[in-house]
Chain A
Amino acid sequence: MSPERVLQELADQQLINDKQRAGIQTVEDHKLFSAHWELRSLLYVGILLFTTGTGWLIYKYIDQIGHTFLIIALSVLCAASFAFAVRYKGTFTRGRSYSRSPFGDYALLLACLLFLSLEGYLQYQYTIFGTRYGLVTFLPAILFLSLAYLFDHRGVLAMGLTALISWIGVTVRPLEFYFKGNLKDMTVLLSALALSIFLMVGALMLDRQRIKPHFTITTLGFAGNLLLVALLAGLFNFENLHLQFALALAVACAGFDWYARRERSFLFLLMSTFYGYIGATYLVFHYLHLRDEATYLYWLITGIGVTVYLSANRKIDAVPGVKSEEGKN
């Protein structure tokens, strides 16, 4: 369907007059091709390739001549990118603020990625943190989180949250039912639960104060995945605590369901549905030992049930102009 055709139909229905039609047509004829997102993706891929390459390079030629020079060069580049980001930093506001240069955000990203490589190298070569390995991830976590709020950078926020979560020994990726790390260990599991609750409370409090409210979804997404993964892991790994973990999972899912409805952030509804379904299904099959027909019947009934439940929730969304994360400002 071409713009001409749309304008024709609108004119046929006398919804626009000739002047408007000609005007919009002129704009469409002179419409420029926007390469905005393509160019930014290109820049992003370039930075990722570069930092991956340097990360590799650092360890490959360790103990060789010129290595010190390489480290110095990378440190200078890291500092320079950071200086660039600072130089063009927008004034801090509680809402969204933007760098005054189109490259400010990317310079900050480059600086943070290089910082990670350099920090890892310093620990590897000189063990600057000694055996306190926790500091190796805790330091960048705190640094990145502060930078994210100062510079208003959601990418750095995600890096900081990832570092913070790996600090307690777990790797979680949003929407991946995949967890590395030792969630069979009760200490790790409890610290995962504590961290996720701490992050969620923090995110909601900052949201209430309207401090960078567009960060809320990112933080809640990370923390929520961590919480639900940890609860599922508890369910799978600690049979003697089934009741407690099942209850906690149910409460968490109900909480996300409530939040998703209230904020119209349906990512959280999807998360609670998936994790909740997995937990419930695990318990049903663990205790009931369903046979073939019963299994199929279970799929049939629960499939229809969840579909009806999700459809029912969707009606809330029928109002146009959904409250997006941007719209909160």
Chain B
Amino acid sequence: MKAYNETWVHNKRLMEYVARWQRQGMLDAAKLAQIQAKFPVGFRESNGFIEIGLFVFSIVATSGSYFLLATLLGQLFNHDVFYHVFNIGSGLAVGFLAGRLINSRNYYRSGVDNALVIAAVALVTAGVVGLLPNNLPTWQYCLIILPLVLMGVWYYSDLLLTMAAFATLITALFDFFLDFPAGKTGLPFVLMAISAGLYGMARRYENRDHLVYWRDNFILLGWLSLTQLLISCNYFAVRQLHYWTLDKRPAEAPEIALAPLFWLLTTAVPIVLLYLGIRQKERPLLIMGAIGWGLALATWRYYYPVFSLEFYLISNGILLALTAIFLIRYLSVPRNGFTDRPDEDSPKELFLNAEALSTIQATSGHPGSKEDMQFGGGDFGGGGSGERY
């Protein structure tokens, strides 16, 4: 039992493939309509700009009602317990409202539902944390919040909640490990290990059929964990972090233990990411590898500025532009599975074996519809449905 209709989510993902194949000319419009009829998606069509507006004004409305109620019931809040119970109660009410709206108006990540889900989970967690004793260390609060947020992610598959869960986990780790000396040294390595582990998990599960409801959450987790990985192995980040944790701060951040190792990691991790990205053809790895390499260069220039800043800007600008120009020219014909052509292009040119494509096109045309009529799918096989789309 989930917040959104799981079949529709499944069909939505399936139709993304089908629509791409149709755009690439491998299925005709009539076939697309036929498939659409068999795999219906009942969610409301939406528009990104409207979603932004709906999100913002739903937050405005929710805050208004929350503060209004809280002010009216203000007399009761002499006892803290009432206030925290009120928070939990209003969180549940908002969650209930979200559920009603999702069902009745067929919302799916339409702005209103996102806003209400965030508000519901935030209010419930605030209430729960309020009911806990006041003097717990932060990491314990985080570990209590985390399952609540994860339940929200499980039920709603919300992306902002996924970010919140990730941030909660990282905060818990920070707070826990910074409390003792060995933990301070170990924190970067723990974060690296956790990020790598989470990335592995995200990659492993993002394409599982039975987990399709959370596909976007796993993809987001992949990006988040790669970002965290790059930060936790970066020499600059580690040195600054060490500086902030010192009781007495000197004018400048002091050298850290294991500095050579962190320098190595700062440069090596992006290279490894790039290498893996090229081998596995994974976009997040390639992009984060490139960004990480930029970060590594910036770190190096920060500590060892050999030339002036504009020299670095100009030389790196030229280098980047030349690399891009070289690669665009080099990949104008496909090499090693890479190409410069946009994804949505028809595979005609990409395809070494042009015969195969003509076969698909030939079979996906009208003969295909006739065959379907034989199987009793005549309702969808007509030209009318094609025109309707």
Contacts and interface: CB of A to CB of B under 8 A. Distances in A.
A130 interface: no
B351 interface: yes
Contact of B53 (A48, A57, A310): A310
Interface stretch (A38-46, A183-191, A201-209): A38-46
A39 B283 CA distance: 12
A285 interface: no
B61 A307 contact: yes
A270 B314 contact: no
B352 interface: yes
A225 B13 CA distance: 36
A49 B324 contact: no
A273 B64 contact: no
A38 to B, nearest CB: 7
A158 B60 CA distance: 33
B161 to A, nearest CB: 20
Q: Give the residue among A9, A32, A318 with the most B Cβ atoms within 10 A.
A: A32
Contacts of B49: 266-267, 269-270
A9 B11 CA distance: 10
Contacts of B72: 293
Interface in B306-332: 308-314, 316-325, 327-328, 331-332
Contact of A42 (B24, B61, B290, B359): B290
B359 A320 contact: no
Contacts of B352: 30
Contacts of B350: 30, 32
Contacts of A43: 320-321, 324-325, 328
A258 interface: no
B53 A269 contact: yes
Interface stretch (A85-93, A121-129, A298-306): A298-306
B363 A17 contact: yes
Contacts of B338: 32-33, 35
A42 B53 contact: no
A9 B350 CA distance: 26
A32 B339 contact: yes
A10 B35 contact: yes
Contacts of A19: 359-360, 363
Contacts of B340: 34-36, 39, 102
A50 interface: yes
B237 interface: no
Interface residues of B, number: 96
A48 B317 contact: yes
Interface string A296-327: 11111111101100110110011110100000
A103 B325 CA distance: 8
Interface stretch (B220-228, B241-249, B265-273, B371-379): B371-379
A277 B363 CA distance: 55
B63 interface: yes
A227 to B, nearest CB: 18
Nearest to B206: A1
19 contacts: A2-B209, A20-B27, A20-B363, A20-B364, A30-B350, A30-B352, A34-B340, A38-B283, A39-B331, A39-B340, A42-B320, A47-B321, A50-B318, A60-B310, A270-B52, A273-B53, A292-B71, A296-B67, A314-B47
Given A45-B320, A53-B309, A293-B71, 8 more contacts: A16-B368, A17-B371, A24-B26, A34-B340, A49-B316, A53-B314, A296-B71, A306-B60
Interface of A: 1-3, 5-6, 9-10, 13-17, 19-20, 23-24, 26-27, 30-40, 42-43, 45-54, 56-57, 60, 102-103, 106, 266-267, 269-270, 273-274, 277, 292-293, 296-304, 306-307, 310-311, 313-314, 317-320, 322
